[in-house]
Chains A and B, each alone.
Chain A
């Protein structure tokens, strides 16, 4: 359950791509609520549809994408909204940062100019005022000598500093929601921690809701409040981050946890097989073909999230498996 009032809400959100080979169903019905000032982690392997979901609600997917269902920000519907309306949302109420900050910044524009563009596209101010604000923002995200740095080009920054620039740009118009698409994947581990710290500070000081998209459960464990695990375009498990790590109910989540290196762990257990072909997603639970606990009934119908313990799960055998594991331990 989201803390406080809901800002971003997805209901049965779907994305498919029209290709010559047929319909690629990248996202197949996602429900998600993000509360005011909350940080939510969306976790899954590449291809699970986690990035596509949020690119889709921002209207940043190519024209071959078909989007249905509902996505609202503060009550305003985004699915099917006009381009003009979406432009007033993007950068103003929802901002986004991306995985590789070097390629995500325009290489031939000074970073100050890029932030000013963000400010001035939503706020009617002078260039000078916008530039002053840009310098302040660079200071907020922890860039030293922001005045001089604002006159430099992206290639003159280190990876971590670039990602700070991206964050500064994203929070320029104090958005209600910040979507961070794998913001630390391309960075060194030490730098990762710094970036996460910056994001947490923004979450607390500006009360910005943050959606952290990642495949790294370690990152999630450190900063987020709640987690939604995605597999093959569907949510398979949802809950508080602590609950999830302590008593995860879905075999896929457990697989993810077991393939994570940790101190004292003797060996890593990879999940066998690979994600399904989304041109022809399997009937029933999409994880069943790779699942050691699959039963014939798993392939009968697509399971929905249902309450389980203190969280929600999409595994129909969650109760049995929980017992098995408990007995096993």
Chain B
């Protein structure tokens, strides 16, 4: 087991380097940081421009990209991050806030979504072919077919715009973490602001997990060892919990870890619609402004998260399923 983990970790490091390098090149070409800088600082002197190029490692040519990448990487690890192009601000404080907000939103939505999704997946699989199974399956299909921004727009329309027209004021706020101008911590307000975004993300999560769980449990329920378990004379409840659910969860856990990219994707879109100041909103803004120094650390975090969860998926599978060979 230890060898397996170490080997996987050793794989993760070069993958991370290669992917961030590719992202670096793509974004250098795509956002053209120097041009963005010149657009904002139109009267910058030649010396200032040279200094900017040096600080950010914006060297020319194919070799320049490699040099620039390692220059940037060195700065990234020593905490010497280039400032944003727009507003010449530090990157970390903003990014830190965005991460905290996103973790809160994503965490709550995943928790709610996975719990409900798994439950209704089980609920459906226990009566295959019944009305409730068909309903869950069709519902999950709908949930997956509706893009998050569409449900976000429709939620906003109902709970804010029209609620305000019918009852005088909106039921739920549709943007931010707090109302504009609010200072300090207020749990109630925070929760109120999270309801709609969480609902939008959770719909996708619920639909995804209901389908996974249903499929996985159906397969387990049709397996021969379920018959063996029943032939032992143990209670149906024990058969389901000890043999069926436990085994059905193994593939689901693995898919869950791989799926973190999809949840992040939904989160980014949802934050964009609700102007929720998280990682998604941060990315969309930085991308629109072509703010290369602000984008790169964001990318590193996302790439790391994706690679980390893939690693977790492999390890959890090896850990949970004794059939997987570890070497």
Contact = CB atoms under 8 A, between A and B. Distances in A.
Q: A and B: direct contact (Cβ < 8 Å)? A: yes
Interface of A: 55, 58, 60, 83, 86-92, 95-96, 98, 100, 103-108, 117-118, 121-122, 153, 155, 166, 169
Contact of A106 (B225, B230, B233, B320): B225
Given A103-B224, A108-B247, A117 B232 contact: yes
Interface residues of B, number: 23
B248 to A, nearest CB: 11
Given A89-B233, A108-B322, 16 more contacts: A58-B231, A60-B231, A87-B233, A87-B235, A91-B232, A91-B233, A92-B233, A96-B231, A98-B228, A104-B225, A105-B225, A106-B225, A106-B228, A107-B225, A107-B322, A153-B323
Contacts of A107: 225, 247, 321-323
Nearest to A110: B322
A126 to B, nearest CB: 18
Q: Lowest 6 CB-CB distances: which A-B pairs, in order?
A: A91-B233, A90-B233, A103-B224, A91-B232, A153-B322, A121-B234
Contacts of B243: 106
Contact of A118 (B232, B235, B320): B232
10 contacts: A60-B231, A86-B233, A90-B230, A90-B233, A91-B233, A103-B225, A104-B225, A104-B227, A107-B225, A153-B323
A106 B247 contact: yes
B223 A103 contact: yes
Contacts of B225: 103-107
Nearest to A83: B236
Contacts of A106: 225, 228-229, 243, 247
Contacts of B321: 107-108
A99 B223 CA distance: 13
Contacts of B227: 55, 60, 98, 104
Contacts of B224: 98, 100, 103-104
A108 B250 contact: yes
A103 B225 CA distance: 6
Contacts of A166: 228
Interface in B185-238: 223-225, 227-236, 238
A184 B150 CA distance: 58
B241 to A, nearest CB: 12
Nearest to B127: A63
B246 interface: yes
Contacts of B232: 90-91, 117-118, 121, 169
A208 to B, nearest CB: 15
Interface of B: 223-225, 227-236, 238, 242-243, 246-247, 250, 320-323
Contacts of B247: 106-108
A91 B239 CA distance: 14
Contacts of B231: 58, 60, 90-91, 95-96
B81 to A, nearest CB: 46
Contacts of A89: 233
A103 B234 CA distance: 19
Nearest to B231: A96
B77 to A, nearest CB: 41
A15 B229 CA distance: 22
Contacts of A92: 233
A90 B229 CA distance: 10
A315 B282 CA distance: 84
Which of A92, A104, A169 gathers the greatest number of chain B CB atoms within 10 Å?
Answer: A104
A150 to B, nearest CB: 14
Nearest to A173: B233
A241 B237 CA distance: 43
A229 to B, nearest CB: 25
A108 B231 CA distance: 18
Q: With a 10 A CB-CB cut-off, give which of B228, B246, B320 has the most chain A CB atoms.
A: B228
A301 B208 CA distance: 57
Given A153-B322, A153-B323, A155-B322, A105 B235 contact: no
B151 to A, nearest CB: 37
A49 to B, nearest CB: 17
Contacts of A58: 231
Contacts of B250: 108
Nearest to A90: B233
A153 B227 CA distance: 18
B233 A88 contact: yes
B138 to A, nearest CB: 20
Contact of B323 (A91, A104, A155): A155
A288 to B, nearest CB: 34
A92 B242 CA distance: 20
Contacts of A153: 322-323
Contacts of A100: 224
Nearest to A155: B323
B139 to A, nearest CB: 24
A69 B231 CA distance: 21
Contacts of A86: 233
A139 to B, nearest CB: 21
A98 B227 CA distance: 9
A87 B232 CA distance: 8
Contacts of B234: 87, 91, 117, 121
A99 B133 CA distance: 31
